[in-house]
Amino acid sequence: MAQVCAVSPVGSRLLRVRYWLAVVHRDHVRHGVEQGIAQVNHGSRAGIEKLAPGDGLVYYSPRDAHPDGDVLRAFTAIGRVAEGDAWQAAPVTMLAKGEVRPWRRRVEYVEGIVEAPIAPLLPVLALTRDTPNWGWLMRRGLLEVTADDFAAIAGEMGADTLVP
């Protein structure tokens, strides 16, 4: 599904750039942006290790707060995965899971973006345009998206520096 649109120099080797959409409530996204980190799928190692330095990452927030916030349905943060490996954070308490040690990665988020509602992009994005039940796709928590989809979202958010 995802397209290779660029090759990014990382260290002494070249890596394929991939683009990711993570589904997280806005209040949690804001905590991650403040800390300069990404955490996906309730801190799962498998999800966070899919991301590599240089990859693009955009957050879609179905609600403004967890667990029962107001409906939002907007893209709320965007950036690039920074150098370094994923790491396991100190224990935190998650409502449904109790105490966990989530896996995280550093992300360089674009400052000054605007949150972008998904509705105007539904007929544009390859991810959603032919999928009437696109919300079910989002339940995966982390999806690889095309370079074109990432560029369209970045443009709507005012993150032109990330447009491939």
pLDDT in tens, 29-43: 999 999 999 999 888
Work out how many domains the chain is built from and give that number: 1
pLDDT digits (tens, 9 = 90+) for 145-164: 999 999 999 999 999 888 87
CA 81/CA 150 separation, integer angstroms: 14
Q: Give the three-state DSSP class for 145.
A: strand
**Tokens matching residue 11:** 């260290």
Residue 145 lies in a domain: yes
CATH number, domain containing residue 28: 3.10.590.10
Residue 140 lies in a domain: yes
Structural domain harbouring 39: 7-159
Q: How confident is the model at residue 68 (pLDDT cuts 50, 70, 90)?
A: confident
Residue 151 lies in a domain: yes
Q: Which of 107, 106, 101, 118 lies closest to 157 in space, CA to CA? A: 118
E strands, the chain, are 7-10, 13-16, 19-23, 37-38, 56-63, 71-81, 87-88, 92-94, 98-100, 103-109, 116-117, 142-145
Residue 2 lies in a domain: no
* pLDDT score at 3: 38
Residue 40 lies in a domain: yes
Which phi and psi (to 5°) does residue 77 adopt? -160, 155
How high does pLDDT run on average in the chain?
89
Residue 164 lies in a domain: no
pTM more than 0.85: yes
Q: Give the three-state DSSP class for 112.
A: coil
Burial label for 150, CB within 10 Å (0-12, 13-18, 19+), is buried
Max Cα separation, the chain? 46
CA 93/CA 100 separation, integer angstroms: 6
Residue 106 lies in a domain: yes
